[in-house]
Structures are given as C-alpha cells and as structure tokens.
C-alpha cells in the first residue's frame, strides 16, 4: 500500500457528518474504522438483510446469481413507491437506475459509499423524496469472489483501504471486459438482472489507475458521442448536471478519463473516446439506455474517495428522480427508432481524430529524470506544489467503421444455433427458429480475404481480425437455423454481436475461428497431376498461370503457391474456407417460428 498522508482538516471536517451518527446495525466496517478499512463480503450479505428488515416498505434484498465459488450475488431494490419488483416498476412507469460497485473488487469505493448513501436516502438526509419517483437497484459487489481474494497490496497504486479485493474473478475474468461476450457466470447473472429490470441508466463505480494530480473524479456518460441522437442530448445533460453538483461540493470533476496519451508523460495530454461494448459504457447505449462510468482518483485517500462517490450517487438519484420519466419516454422512442434501422448505415466503432484543443489541468509540479533502477525516464510528482498544466485534449470523436444493416436480419445455420442462441438470450435479443429446410435462400455472405488471429490470448480467447466484404449469394439451410431480425429495439446490439468486423462481435472474440482454419489439403503429387490436366484442358487457366509467373516474382519462386493456384480452381477446394458462418438476408425466411 502506498504511504498514507494526513488528510487536510477541511476534508476530514467535511466528511464527518456523513457517518458521525449512524444506527449501529446499518453501519459498515468501513465507517466504524474511519474508512481506513473495508469489510468482507459476509458483511454485505448481512447488510442487505438488515436494510430490508429496517425498511421493509422500501427495500427488498434478493439474490440475482451465484458466483463460481458458491457465494450469493446480492442486490437491493429500493423505492418508496412500492415498486420493488421489475413487474411493479414497469406497471408504475417508474424509472430504474442500476448502480453497481466492485466490478473490480479492489476498487471498492462504491460498496461503502453506496451503503452510506442508501441509509441517508432512506432516512431523508439525502435526496429527499427521490425514492418516491424511482427504483434504485444497488449491487454493492459485482465480483464477489474477487472481493474475497483479500490483501493489502492488491492495488499498489491506490491509497486505501488497508486491504481490498482483486481485479478479476475466481475464473480470472475481468468483468469489465465481459459485457458483450458474457463468458462469466457473474456477467450472465448481471445481464439477466438487466433484462428483468431494464434500467434507464446504469452507473459503474470505479477508482482510476494513473498519475498524480488534483482532480478527484471523472464522469463519463454514453450515449453522448455514440448511440441514439435523442439520447445523446440526455446523456450530455446528465453528465453535466452531475459534474456541476460535484463541483459545487468542492470536487474537481473531469468529463473524460484522465489517462495520458503516452504513459507516464503528462505533456502528451489526454484523449477521449467511445468504449466498445466489452465495457459498461459501450454496452448499455447499444440497448438505448444511459451508462455512467465513475472513476475516483486512486491517489486520493479512501475517506475522500468514498465521500465523493457517495455525493455522486446522491446526485444521480436526484437527477433521475426529477427527469427519469422524461428520459424513459425518450429511451422508448429510441427503441422504436432502433427497430427501424434496417437498411440504414450505423457505426460499429469510433475513433478520436488528431484534432486537439489546449486545456487547463490541475496537476502537480513534476520532473522527468533517468531512473537508476529501471534505466528509463521516470516521472516524479511533488504533491506539495500544485501546478496548472496546459496540455492537449483530443476529444473529436467520429465513426471508424460503419455498415449498412440488412433490411431483414441475420441467419445462423442450424449447426451453430444452440451456441449463438445462448449468447443472444443473455442479451435479451429476439430471434426465431426456422422450422423447415431452405434451398437457394437469397442471402449476403461475408468471405474473409484475410483472417488474422491475435498472437496472444485475451480473456481466454484468441481474438480474430477479419477483412473482407459482403456479397450476394444463395444458401441452403437445414431446419433449425435461427433468424435474428434487425427490427427490434436492440438492433445496434445485434449488429455489435453479429457483424464480423465489429470490435466485440462473436467473430472478433474467436467464437468462429474454426471456419477460418484450413482443414483439407491436396498432396503435392496429386496437385501436380491436377495442374497438368488443367493446363492442357483450359487455355484461360494456362494464360492466367503464365501471366502470374511473368509478373509476380514471389509467386514464381514459391512452389506451394504455384500448386495452390490450381487447387483453388479445382472442385476439391473447400468453398467454405474463410466464409463467415452467419448470413444477412433482406427479408424473413419462410418457415420462421415466433420463438426465442
């Protein structure tokens, strides 16, 4: 753990009212320790039950999953409107906000701040009346097994608490890389929770890595640069409103994640961006819902981080209590607009341009000197000397790759239906089963011109990068194939998973790598015979071969390439090699059942 510095008196005094007079049964170990420590997961289980017992009319404690090590995954539904189930919330038209802590269990600010805010909101000390107008679904700890991998040095670049959990799960998954691919039991449980409650907004509570500076929190929201245009305006207003509330309380909030363009080089400045859907802020906008990433600054002491996170939660509740019904109406409009995206061009991912503007950033004085330890230039900060940095910020964000969606949808062959169907169900995507065989179905197929596997695994997958194009074709299908229509509210999420060049598609995560591996070969002595027969029988093939020999020195010098020239033109060649095994169609196939 980093050395602890004494807190400025003003911060200690500002924090005291937050936990000075609390009922003993509803306080956390963190509060009782003065936020030097955080409690273990059995405390979270006990507090969930205790809040329900203390406020039975406003709190429901429930399990939404079981971790791989057998721990219950706890959530609390909180409302004064009586809407403590998904059905009741929908019937009452109450906006739901999901606030989750501990997706990275070493960054546990959200758990302790959430329980603190929960008690104060229930007692009317904070956000008075908010619970009459919304439902708050609070997940104190998402990565529950990671939380119990407890140790003092699990976050070496973070000031407090004294001990904390681990970044990954017991199966070594990073849950904040798992939203789209949904490998882990924890994420599958979370997506089921999301499908049930359909929150208008999801808030993901973290603490940063990074350099030393005065700013204490960053607030990023999407849709803002991406997603439905009407929801972008909502996202901007929500982000700016929460930032204004935090600034009024003495924080120094940022609207972007403060990670240097070049690591450990403050003068390189910062770059904003849109996350792909492996992350929470990239995922929820594809469902036409709001997402907020909250990152307290890891170099601030734990009491300070908890206080600021608590303030953020209260601000979020206040804004959704005031505007959540309007935002819900706009989100439902976005659902309708997404259902009409067939035939339209949509971005698959985004990039930040080189355009930069200079900003004032509240840093500290620093030096960059050669280290006798590492032998590299290292930055050393002087926290006693605040310094205004004038640095570039690149925040012009544009689509990087776009596609025109099919007017109908996507077809998944029967051989892949079970696996792909399971993946789609996790995300609440509607699909139907094709109940009879199809012959000569008009489709578009994607054939890769290159299929480049990653050199190392990521999250247990060998990722795959594909280049190529869609082209018209006809395809025979066995009964039991799936049809995934674009005409549904989660059309953007459908494209994110099934377009092969999307950054977090099933293909990108290596789910179809088998189809890009060559399985059959022609022996060289057979290829020699085939080549001679083709040269004798087809003057066009002879002319093309001789032209390649004359004009392509690398081809002429490569015996294997010369034989493959003929093999590729022979009926023995595998026509399915490099063919992406999901097809597009402009209209629903015959024999589609309305099932999911």
CB 225 within 8 A of CB 397: yes
Q: What is the pLDDT of residue 379?
A: 96
Contacts of 175 (CB under 8 A, 6+ apart): 103, 104, 142, 143, 168, 169, 184, 186, 187, 190
Binned average pLDDT, 10 residues per bin, the chain of 596 residues: 36 39 76 97 98 97 98 98 96 98 98 98 97 98 98 94 98 98 98 98 94 96 97 98 98 96 95 97 98 97 98 98 98 98 98 97 97 94 97 98 98 98 98 95 97 97 98 96 98 98 98 94 90 94 95 95 90 88 96 67
Burial environment of residue 536 by CB neighbours within 10 A (0 to 12, 13 to 18, 19 or more): exposed
> Could you give the domains of the chain?
9-260+269-336 (3.40.630.10), 357-399 (no CATH), 401-518+577-585 (no CATH), 524-567 (no CATH)
Closest CA to 168 of 75, 103, 99: 103
CB 40 within 8 A of CB 145: no
**Alpha-carbon dihedral of residues 164, 167, 171, 176, nearest 10 degrees?**
140
**CA–CA dist 482, 594 (Å, integer):** 11
Q: What is the pLDDT of residue 24?
A: 54
N- to C-terminal Cα separation, the chain: 50
DSSP label of 208: -
Radius of gyration (Cα) for the chain, nearest Å? 28
CB 583 within 8 A of CB 411: yes
DSSP 539-579: HHHHHHHHHHHHH-HHHHT-HHHHHHHHHTTSTTS-TTTTB
Coil, helix or strand for 37?
A: coil
**CA–CA dist 492, 102 (Å, integer):** 28
DSSP label of 406: P
CB 169 within 8 A of CB 145: yes
CB 179 within 8 A of CB 187: yes
Coil, helix or strand for 199?
A: coil
Q: What is the pLDDT of residue 17?
A: 41
The encoded tokens of residue 570 equal 């022979």
């Amino acid at each position: 753990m980093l050395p602890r510095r004494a807190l400025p008196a003003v911060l200690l005094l500002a924090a005291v009212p937050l936990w000075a007079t609390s009922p003993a049964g509803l306080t956390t170990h963190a509060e009782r320790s003065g936020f030097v420590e955080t409690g273990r997961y059995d405390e979270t289980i006990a507090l969930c039950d205790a809040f329900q017992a203390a406020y039975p009319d406003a709190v429901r404690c429930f399990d939404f999953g079981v971790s791989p090590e057998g721990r219950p995954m706890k959530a609390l539904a909180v409302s004064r409107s009586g809407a403590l189930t998904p059905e009741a919330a929908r019937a009452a038209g109450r906006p739901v906000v999901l606030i989750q802590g501990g997706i990275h269990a070493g960054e546990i600010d959200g758990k302790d701040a959430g329980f603190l805010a929960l008690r104060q909101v229930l007692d009317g000390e904070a956000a008075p009346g908010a619970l009459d107008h919304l439902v708050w679904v609070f997940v104190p700890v998402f990565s529950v097994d990671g939380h119990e991998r407890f140790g003092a040095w699990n976050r070496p670049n973070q000031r407090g608490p004294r001990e904390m959990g681990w970044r990954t799960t017991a199966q070594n998954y990073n849950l904040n890389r798992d939203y789209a691919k949904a490998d882990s039991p924890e994420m599958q449980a979370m997506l089921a929770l999301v499908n049930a409650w359909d929150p208008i907004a999801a808030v993901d509570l973290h603490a940063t890595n990074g350099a030393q500076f005065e700013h204490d929190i960053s607030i990023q929201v999407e849709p803002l640069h991406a997603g439905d245009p009407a929801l972008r305006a909502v996202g901007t207003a929500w982000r700016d409103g929460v930032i204004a509330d935090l600034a009024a309380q003495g924080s120094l909030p940022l609207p972007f994640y403060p990670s240097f363009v070049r690591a450990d080089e403050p003068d390189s400045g910062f770059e904003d961006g849109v996350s792909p859907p492996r992350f929470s802020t990239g995922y929820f906008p594809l469902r036409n819902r709001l997402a907020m990433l909250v990152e307290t600054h890891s170099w601030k002491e734990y009491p300070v981080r908890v206080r600021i996170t608590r303030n953020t939660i209260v601000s979020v509740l206040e804004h959704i209590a005031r505007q959540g019904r309007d935002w819900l109406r706009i989100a439902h409009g976005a659902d309708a607009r997404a259902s009409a995206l067939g035939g339209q061009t949509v971005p698959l991912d985004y990039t930040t341009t080189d355009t930069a503007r200079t900003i004032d950033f509240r840093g500290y004085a620093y030096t960059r000197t050669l280290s006798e330890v590492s032998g590299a230039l290292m930055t050393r900060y002087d926290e006693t000397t605040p310094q205004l940095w004038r640095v570039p910020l690149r925040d012009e964000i544009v689509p990087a790759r776009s596609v025109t969606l099919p007017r109908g949808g996507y077809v998944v062959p029967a051989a892949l239906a079970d696996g792909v169907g399971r993946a789609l169900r996790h995300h609440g995507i509607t699909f139907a089963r094709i109940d009879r065989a199809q012959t000569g179905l008009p489709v578009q197929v994607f054939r890769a011109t290159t299929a480049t596997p990653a050199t190392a695994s990521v999250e247990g997958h060998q990722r795959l990068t594909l280049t190529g194009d869609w082209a018209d074709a006809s395809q025979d299908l066995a009964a039991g194939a799936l049809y995934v229509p674009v005409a549904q509210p989660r059309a953007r999420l459908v494209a994110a998973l099934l377009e092969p060049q999307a950054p977090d598609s099933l293909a990108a995560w290596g789910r179809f790598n088998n189809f890009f591996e060559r399985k059959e070969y022609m022996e060289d002595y057979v290829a020699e015979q085939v080549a001679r027969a083709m040269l004798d029988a087809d003057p066009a093939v002879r002319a093309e071969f001789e032209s390649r020999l004359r004009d392509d020195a690398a081809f002429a010098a490569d015996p294997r390439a010369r034989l493959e020239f003929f093999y590729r033109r022979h009926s023995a060649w595998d026509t399915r090699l490099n063919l992406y095994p999901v097809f597009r169609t402009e209209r629903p196939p015959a024999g589609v059942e309305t099932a999911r």
